Structure 1
């Protein structure tokens, strides 16, 4: 078949990828950029220590709770329209946050950022899923997307450090505005969403309510456990409520005519393996971001800018792993042969970080550990992103994409709470057992902190190894069929039926 007959042959798609990637970078870096600015913003706005966490939590709850709804809206409205609305809303919410004159205005802005981020993120990924159907081109597109999805958080640390140190914290919000405007204008001009990819079925209101409340309760439960403990009454109540609500959601989805999340999206073995392994891997990644940031700033006394740049090796590794290793091998080997080894290489990098002490050399241990982490995660994320939408009817691409974001968001909440709790417990135990013979209390505090970090990182190593095992055992699809993409792309339904060898390659 001539190349011009392949839906993926429109060069406008590659221009569209630039703006989709720009929007994804904005959403991902926003998750970490505000963390750097939080101490000065708290002081300027008079936010109490007890409410400080809500600057982070308000965003996490809105974003995590509404992702499935946002994915379904993109299927219903069309991905391009949802994408542009999400960008416009995110820019407006960022302007509100930058102009905040008090606690209420700041928390409201963060919640709104989460709401529009939940529209934007699934729309961006599902646009790639329905626009890039040729296997080789899909590999390149998702390689770029995977590098941004994996490394954007570290970029946020660098940018946040610069803006906070040389301008002020308000610019960590204002910086989103030019990103959003450029991406929205570009998307309006160049994105051409394929016809027939929308799902005009009526909206599943009970599913929206149950999934949103269930996910909010789950994310809040883990967030609260971090500072109030796992046995706290409200924490336990949130977990119970989440289990009940999500169980009711699954029962509802099995019965309604037009479900918010068709269960076929979850029950396909390969996608289930992606969602589970990716969510677990993100838990492990938070071991790096959370503890290494504290280690560099408190123990090594790095400035915010220096701390951000200290994460550069991981960003480089992510880019190389995703755009070079993953992209070049994805059309040659089955996805699990990239994902499982990728997670194991990342686990090796994490294993090196268990050797941290107060005198650890950055060049001798931290830098090579980050390179391994970046290479492994970049190599694994790239085929995972593709596989998450593998074989999905184009009309379900939005909710399938939302499930990837949801698994990452929940994984991040679990990682922060679980690993922080483990670290705090290990630190307390270390200090109490070494207090008697300590000559320098401050040194003992630092030693206890580093001991806590390394103890928690051991758990992150185990979680990454588990991710590799799940990827290897659950994901059974073969390498993409290079000749089938053009054939498949001509079908009205898009990707075939469950159980077929389908092509719009995998790649989430």
Structure 2
């Protein structure tokens, strides 16, 4: 990096855009639905279109990073974000808005592996790289919560279009700043082919499987479209594995998945997002359904956990430098799991926000540290020319893990609320949320056991005089 501090700030800012864009539309959904004429069944696709496109195109985006360079894909991803956000804000009907959200997901699928690759390869291993991941993780972890706050403020002040228009100057400015701050990677003499068959099958398979996971809770797991998407997605996934095993230059070399760090990292990322990644949703339901918070107050309620996530991200980076990534990852999961248990105990229909603070703070510390560490740990042993694909694999696990975890825990939380109203509904909702949070805590404990699969820190030998 020509100017490391400025480049790191830019990479963190890009990660912040990705995190913000994922959930900034949540609090604006009621206004979007009433203004554009969405039905109750189709409104979820304002969120789901982004998730399906993001998850479906990640491997393609990661391979493009390796072939064409992370700088080029970084700029292209931001440009796609800016244009699609402008299109979303100008939409006057449901279909154009859903298409714009899908295009935003494509931009994220290009931008995320490019950003992670630049962090992994642009800073020297050890303290500098750990610090870079701490800053990058702070932006990503806090951005998911900041999206709820910013979405509430913008929607309340300017209307739903503001949650789209705000991305246009942010992404455009970041794309322009990348040109002087991020160096162009030196071209390699080896010419590598683009695996078209692998790209098509992997993109379609992942998109269909993510579609299945986000649509099934709404339509039912036995609905014909859901079953058809699942069946075709599995068949295409098998076809992808068959193609990659026989390709001279595969999109995803299957031997990469047998590596200790990436294999463990994929499973840790999957479980992390299936547990930690769902808690924001359940807290939102608790604040709004049980205690009647509006969009603005819900966003403000997340300020404390956001501060804890920022602090946890910095502590995680320092602990990784002194004790190694494996130890730091396990400690972060143990702390986050303890905070989740405390939070579950604190949920009640008549409790105050103050009773939640101990659990929110401890949970945020562990969650922030874990988010900072898991992607770097997953890609640590990957060669530089395969960092894009490795980053995409880890992020695909992130997307699918979040979808699976949310589907399972939502079913657990809502099992006893059917047909209830008034105080009975509030009490049943609280009990269901508490059960889901306890199940998430058990999943976090399992994640800590899986994290033991990472390689222990290498001992440093001090040369004698």
Same fold per superposition (TM over 0.5) = yes
Match of 1:421 in 2: 411
Aligned in 2, Cα 1:96/1:423: closer, same or farther, shift over 3 Å?
same
Assess if the C-alpha contact under 8 Å between 1:314 and 1:371 holds in 2. yes
Query: In structure 2, the residue corresponding to 1:354 is in which secondary structure?
Result: helix
Cross-structure match for 1:388: 378
Does the 8 Å contact 1:280/1:464 carry over to 2?
yes
Correspondence list, 1:344-493, <5 A: 344-355=334-345, 356-364=347-355, 366-428=356-418, 441-472=421-452, 474-479=453-458
Secondary structure of the 2:379 match is: coil
Residues 397, 199 of structure 1: alpha-carbon distance in 2 compared, 3 angstrom cutoff: farther
1:180 to 165, 168, 171: 171
Partner-residue secondary structure (3-state), 2:92: coil
Residue by residue over 1:3-22, the C-alpha shift from the partner in whole angstroms, topping out at 9 and shown as x without a partner, is xxxxxxx5512211111111
For residue 490 of structure 1, what is the aligned residue in structure 2?
none
User: 1:45 aligned to 2:36?
Assistant: yes
1:284 aligns with 2:278: no
Q: 2:203 maps to what in 1?
A: 212
**Unaligned residue ranges in structure 1 (runs of 5+):** 1-9, 432-440, 484-508
Which of residues 58, 63, 74 is equivalent to 1:67? 58
Task: Summarize the Cα distance change of 1:216–1:176 in structure 2 as closer, same or farther, 3 Å threshold.
Answer: same
Aligned partners of 2:416, 2:278: CA distance in 1, in Å? 15
The one-character-per-residue Cα deviations of 1:127-151 (angstroms, maximum 9, x if unpaired) are 1112112311101100111122222
Do the aligned partners of 1:199 and 1:396 also contact (CA within 8 Å) in 2? Answer: no
**How far apart, in 2, do the equivalents of 1:479 and 1:146 lie?**
23
Q: CA deviation at 1:83?
A: 0.6
Over the aligned positions, Cα root-mean-square deviation in angstroms equals 2.0
Paired residues of 2:327 and 2:456 also in contact (CA < 8 A): no
Shift of 1:174: 0.7
- Conserved in 2, the CA contact under 8 Å of 1:197 and 1:394? no
Per-residue CA shift, 1:28-76, capped at 9, x if unaligned?
Answer: 1111101111110111111111211111111111110000000111111
- Which range is displaced more, 181-190 or 136-145? 181-190
| CA–CA separation in structure 2 for the residues paired with 1:198 and 1:301 | 61
Count how many residue pairs are aligned between Structure 1 and Structure 2: 462
Change (3 A) 1:53 1:257: same
By how many angstroms is 1:458 displaced?
1.9
SS of the residue corresponding to residue 193 of structure 2 reads coil
Asked if residue 90 in structure 1 is aligned to residue 81 in structure 2, the reply is: yes
Q: Write out aligned runs for 1:54-453 (5 A).
A: 54-195=45-186, 200-323=191-314, 325-355=315-345, 356-364=347-355, 366-428=356-418, 441-453=421-433
> For the residues of structure 2 that align with 1:206 and 1:162, how far apart are their CA atoms?
45
Q: Secondary structure of the residue that 1:359 maps to in structure 2?
A: coil
Report how far residue 426 of structure 1 moved: 3.1
Map of 1:503 onto structure 2 = none
Distance across 2 between alignment mates of 1:320 and 1:185: 30
Q: Indicate the SS of the match to 1:380.
A: helix
Quick one: structure 1 residues 479 and 30, their matched pair in 2 at CA, closer, same or farther if it must change by over 3 Å?
farther
What is the CA-CA distance between 1:480 and the residue it aligns to? 8.0
- Residue in 2 that maps onto 1:495: none
| Contact 2:339/2:358, CA 8 A, preserved across alignment | yes
Q: 1:99 to 1:12 in 2, by over 3 A?
A: same
In 2, the alpha carbon distance for the partners of 1:219 and 1:30 equals 18
Using the size of structure 2 for normalisation, the TM-score is 0.95
Partner Cα separation in structure 2 for residue 129 and residue 413 of structure 1: 26
Distance 1:286 1:360, change over 3 A: farther
Paired residue secondary structure (2:414): helix
Q: Give the match for residue 5 of structure 1.
A: none
Q: What displacement does 1:342 show?
A: 1.1
Contact 2:266 / 2:394 at 8 angstroms: preserved in 1?
yes
SS state of the match for residue 250, structure 2? coil
